[in-house]
Structure 1
Amino acid sequence: MNAEQLQKTLHASQYAEQVLANHESLLQQDYAIDQFLKPLSADYIHQLVISTLQDIQDETLWMKTLRILRARLMFRWIWQDANQLTDVVTLTQELSDFADICVQVAKDFARIPLVAKHGEPMGYNGKVQDLIVVAMGKHGAQELNLSSDIDLIFAFDEQGETNGRKCIEVQQFCILWGQKLIYLLDHITADGFVFRVDMRLRPWGDGSALAISHVALEKYLSQHGREWERYAWIKARIITGGQEGYELLEMTRPFVFRKYVDYTAFEAMREMKAMIEREVQRRNIEDNIKLGAGGIREVEFIVQVFQLIYGGSKLELQDRQCLVSLRHLGEAELLEPQAVLDLEDAYLFLRRVEHAIQALNDQQSQALPTEPELRARISDTLGFADWDSFMQTLNEKRVKVIYQFEHLIKENEPDSLLENYSQLEKQLDAVLDDQAKNLVHEFWYGHAIKKLTAKALQRLKTFWPHLIEAVLQSENPQMALMRLMPLVESVLRRTVYLVMLIESKGALQRLVKMATVSPWICEELTQYPVLLDEFLSMDFELPKRSDLEDSLRQQLLRIELDEVEDLMRVLRLFKKSNVLTVAASDVLAESHLMKVSDALTDIAEVTANAALQLAYQMIVKKHGYPLDSEGQRCGLEHNAFAIIGYGKVGGIELGYGSDLDVVFIHNMDEQADTDGIKPISGFEFAMRVARKFVSLMTTQTLDGRVYDVDTRLRPSGDAGLLVTSLRAFEQYQLKSAWLWEHQALVRARSIAGEQCLRDKFEVLRCQILTQPRDEAYVRSEVLKMRQKMKDHLGSSKEQKKDGIFHLKQDAGGIVDIEFMAQYAVLAWSGSNPDLAHYSDNVRILEDAARTGCLSSDDATALIQAYLRERAESHRLALANQSMQVNAADWYDTREVVCKLWQRLIDPTAMSALD
């Protein structure tokens, strides 16, 4: 072995001298000689530890053997580092690989006596529970240094009990398991230790339970997780625990990385910077190359702040390793190329210095030594002529880090808005009437403000001039301010939203514009402030069906079936947040009407499918599976249950406040019992599924309800059964249904449930609609139904005299066009079956033109009138206004509709415009 390299190793490390003195045969070890000049793979390290401990059952001998192995490997790593035979990335990776296998073998060794005493830890799900070990910090990032401790968190998947003679709870078993694991690695013996183990990053820190269940951890992070814990969990990595461990880690990702750009991280960033500066000053640690100015932590902090801000939308920024994420920041153009190079260069140098410090005495220290001898050892090891030249280079590196830290993570410039606040107030005062001024005064001197914490009040005072500036730039400042003030009051106890609006000027401007256009959106946000999370970060693109399905599936995945309140809350917030996204796209991006309706309908269908699946599973869990009409078991995929949407959802024309008109059908054997412990008939099973679906969708809570559901269009209406078999539905429609029920069927479409049954319904629907009918009879019945609706829902004579036009119900309105499309299907599809294919009015009218039933000009005129009137109905809904508009503004559109109505259905229709 190279004598010069040995001398340099021993000069670099007093600890290496001790190791060599205690293990004289170290230099003759075959594995050491062979491996001194090349990297160690994770597999090699794994096999080395396993083979070294093989067949050792005595605890004392096991601990001694692993500690000796650790000393020998440490000697090798110090040798390589001192002689520059490795690099920082390779060295930290090997150290981390060694830590991983040490944790794994310690976990396995600790388990044996516990199982012998208490039996296997069994979860309530019937599975044997494993100890999930989460590596945090440098260990999690696979960046361990020469004398790192390892930060761990212990968890398990599910509560339960052991199955041995001395039965204990799974949590207690895992606590004992973790305690033994720590002892095996951390306990100092005559041979030293393997790794110092730090458990302070676990929920609630010191004094809390050493092991936590998946559910408890999820609850902790969602309800109590603090900002610094988001930084900590960036580096989290699963060492043991299998699939359950990876699922647990996946659960933590939304806590760490917000779905969209996280503006709150900016304020947390400034607070963290101030905290670091205070700590450096208090502890006088300027010469600490980790914690001092320009140190390792500042590099890591720069990277982590960007990860928290952008990691939810830029998945490549979720990497645990500092250098990898630093390069990604450059590729994403969030950092200038020179900044990336400077920070990378400084980080690698600082980590080498850190290793040189820790190699001295195997101590976890990052403080530069004061003793001349130790300084000489470090400067020699790092290749410098003397300490002064080393410090000159070190300071050059640190200055570059400080520069980036100060310029990328700096306090806001003095807020010019605050300086000009009095001027803004004068401008606002000029545009507010007395009533509005009183409301503002009552807000600032009301009880809600008096109850605020000092920090919340300061945030509000900082936000207020930003709000004033934004509303003064709007078309109607008083309207915007008055609509937004209830929203501001509703988030006073969660002022993080105000921070988000301060940081994102664009988001605040969008919010003001939305308030001006749509009080409905303001009311939704005020009533359910949690929706602000989505609103402030949304990109205003209409959601895609596949993304909606994936999102809802992921949200429901980890909620148990019996946690009905939580399931309903997910459904409610999913629906509301996505409808809000559509509304924002409608207002701000001016999305096309039909695409808006498509998106609103998609949201309803995805929600209905999920609710039906949940309802079906809940009834199955209690009563078992039913049989279908062919005697086959109706599993979750082949459930022989479907939901038919009527009206707006059936016609793919949902608006913002639309309810869901639905009919339930099934294809089960109504007489056969289910196969569960508490069997019920197939008929009762179908009824319970329908009731549970309605309950999930309509139950009113603090979060509102998902949708209003109307089931009155089922066979025989309110007097009929809630659920009908497909065969009974067919018999009713063919033999007993009124024509208006066939008219309703024109706008019917299967929206949820088992696909085979849905396909059968669509075939049946076309069969019913394409029956030959007498046109005169159809015309007469449609006219009667339309007149009833006008009498009950249209404008009164007095309103008509005052120039009022009900956009939906009056002559020439939306319903007239819908009835003409339905008339076309009922009267003409007997000889033109293609007319019955679609359920939406636009495509029905297009098909009527294509088949020659209507002229192209007439169909186009009706479609244009329909789209114009529906677009206005959407606008009015967003503005919380009624459907009654100025008749004079709609004369031309109504005239087109009424002329066609006269020609097709009612020769006296023109009198409606007189």
Structure 2
Amino acid sequence: MFAPSLRPSSRLAVPPREARHSHARGADQGGRASGPRGCTLRVWTRQPSERTLRGASGRRGRPCGRSQRFRRNFAELGTPPRLRWSAAMPRSPEAEDALAVYAERGGDASNTGQADAVAWLADHAPSLLGLVRSDPSIIPDVLARPIEHGSDRETLGASLARALSGRDGDSAEVRRALRRFRHRAIVRIALREIRRVADVEQTSAEMAWLAAVVIDAALDHATRTETARHGRALTRDGAGAEVVVPLTVLGMGKLGGLELNLGSDVDLCFFYETDDAEVEGGELTVNELYARVAKRCTEMIGEVTEDGFCFRVDLRLRPEGTRGPLVNSLASAERYYESWGRTWERAALLRARAIAGDRRFGAQLLETLRPFIFRRAVDPSLAEAMHEMLLRSRRELRVDEERDVKLGKGGIREAEFFVQTLQLVWGGRHTELQVAGTLEALWRLRGAGLVSDREAETLADGWALLRRVEHRVHVWTGYQTHRVPDEPRFAESLGYADLESLEAALGRVREGIAGLFSTLLPGETPTDRDWDALGDLVADGAEVETIAEALAQRLPVRDPYESAAHLARLGRRAAGPLGPVTWQRLPQLGRRLLEEVAHVGDPDTALRLLADFFNRLGGPWAYERLLLEEPRLTRRLIGLFGASPTLSSALIGHPEDVDLLLVSGAPRVEELVAPHDALLAELGPDPDPEEIVRELRRLKRTGTLRTGLAYVAGELDLEGATERLSALAEGQVRVSLEAARRWAERRWGRAARGGLLVCAMGKLGGRELGFGGDLDLVFLFGEEGETEPTESGRSVTHGELFARMAQRTMQLLRQRDAEGPGYETDTRLRPSGSKGTLVVSLAGFDAYHEKGAADWERQALVRARPLAGDPEVARAAQDRFDALAYLRGPTPGEELARVRGRLQTELGSESPERYHPKLGYGGLVDVELCVQWLQMRHGDDARVRSPSTPDAIRRLRDAGAIADVDADALSEAQTFFRKVELALKLFDEHRDPLLEPRGRTGAHVARSLGVRARDGLSPTEALDETYRRHARAARRLFEREVGEVQAPAPWEASGES
């Protein structure tokens, strides 16, 4: 089992240059003033399930035949007395009997989809059957939207608004509608998880958004009801205008972290802006009015009625707990936290999120409290305080440490507290760590160098399994408990052969989490003996075979001999990190390097690149102290070597950039653009091309490296990374074009009318450029004519001038320099392609398209946009792009489907073991062509026009041109395939981006995307399954909207499904 290697001093006591932040629930159980929360309330129904829902025997799990009632019900329906099982449908006596009851209550048990859903609930979430028993219409309502598609806040909010339509004035009707909505949503969310359509993160986020929209609706109704009776609370804004005092609801704990369980209560805090206000009528104070609103709101969602309840509400995390007022003003909250705030309250606020009411004010409130949550001063004693909170919870709740997956040793709470402690310790210095979600914070801690790759994976995998088991416990028992049932069928419902197998899996992950948590506490120090023995061999110049044998016992390398050879390189020079002089003088440097290599996902690659890095240094001693004094730098350096050979090579070529590893946070777009603007301002009348190229390559290298580091660390999402890479490329194009213009005009004169325009196409046009991406460019100019004569009397045609300018621009973009490589450019999307002239006038562009350019050339203009050059030409060009792309209808579907098939079969290079995420079956091209085709089809509606694929999907959805479920499928597929593409480029930018799911690239991509083992699948197998699912969805939508593609999936060749 992996043993954590970081000393407490490395985590907590040595302040790096930058820090991290955390979100801890603090005293979720034992730290609240009012004492521990009970754990015996039913989660789903007010009444026990009927005997028939447990099985004919009355005991769960005991075999039983089909009941007479089952046969009678189906006979009355005129249906043969047998179940219509789908291929994936579980077969069990419990499922059969549940279906009998479903039919008896009026459900359509002859419908395969409905029968399937009921059977899955019976075998995996039996407590939810009580809801279905009370209201069988839940099942068809849940299945009205494909179960494969999830829901975000917007989707759930829109659905709830429809459910509440016409019920605004009747509190009883609103309560009933809220409960009916909640019941349907929770059954759907549970079905998605137990059917393995959604993972734990998706389930938890959907549950949190469900709670948020329900609470928001309840708050809105409560506010309108109370203000109608007592008047509004009014104050004046900065301009003196009368405004309503904002009221917000903060979701705390798992709700704020978007990690709500299927059986969780909701932790809420109510805040309003100011007491300097009056309530209309003068009957109440602001606090009294909003206390009534908060009380009514919590009753609306928490009170048990004949329809059940929405969520249990816990208000004990508010200032002063149960002794404090129900609602607090901003000023009183500030005073309380500044004067009396305790560690557990910092931890609680760490995960707070404004979920209802005036969310803008809520965000301002959290910003005001941020200095209380995240301190600049590093306080390692926080770890002891967090540990004490956990121990108190265990004592007060009398936890069964062996079976409690939440509070037991190595349980969910230890995993969360590990992350939250590091966030609280370092978050004041590292603002990128100030996030509420456990896994997001974990990846950022890894990116900041505070945890290693292996530690992050150990905790993430363990946390996911524990949360999945916790969810299943809730829907299995119907109680808010975290104790694993001692029932074999429970283990089987999770995919384990028996209870012993489940307990063994839980034991392994809990051991790893407990080990990590213990590293935060004093006195936990790892042994250096193993690393010393290995370091001695290297420093003494032992044979590679000897080093390989020792290495294989200590590191999980694929090729011990090759890795040993790289390790030997680190000791070849006396001054190397494992050389005899350094090893004798500073052995701790070598130990730290080896420890960090042990914790990355790909130690073979990390060792190779580490050796390359130190061999590149003339005198490595300059870096020794820096690496020893900055543990975070060492961790980020080795982590980068194990994660991205592409970015690592850039750093190795310029080791002076190592300081970029210590820069906190992702670069802002303005930071990448501003140096190019400054360079433009400094250009002379005839710029020196070598100086320009040198500076452009430096800016490209450092900008790409900073963006890549932030993306790998999880500080940037996909759209954030591609937006920055695109902005960086645009800056390079603008500088290159301007330098080329000055160079050309000095030699051949200025154009008499109009100038040259560079248009971005493809991914650059959509601001979706990836790492190592080519620049698709088209050059247009205004009018034909002659240039104004130069001083020597020389002039040329506009076409000649702009052709030379375009060639010079591309030369400046492409030219490699000691500072790094440039951009490859591709101009084949211009009129007539590679056979046409490099630059084309607007008149020539018009003539080409009037003569009958291919439809695919019109479709390419969907992603065209002016990038740099003459603004008048840019406006005229955009008008032409819009008219050609959007006002002439789409490409004939059969033609586009034929082209798509050829791209797959001729360029995809796919096989059963190798997929092409861009050109292959159901890949990125399916998504992009389908979206563009839909844009062209609905192009008369300006709302759908956008060169960006993600933005276009959102616009098509908003315009009603595509259903929500289809938009979700396209968006998810596009995001997935782009992430795969970027991961492959970060692995090897020179290699054709082919994914081998079961090979080395598959392992790298799985690590990069955070794909974990699940449901008996290894990470690479889970990646393969996810890839196929998105590919099928994308191809299905393409063929439905555009036309059938005559090209099969690569896995069909091997007979796989």
TM-score with structure 2 setting the length: 0.42
Q: State the structure with more CA Rg.
A: 1
Q: Which has the higher contact order (CA 8 A, sep 6+)?
A: 2
Greater helix share, 1 or 2?
1
TM-score with structure 1 setting the length: 0.48
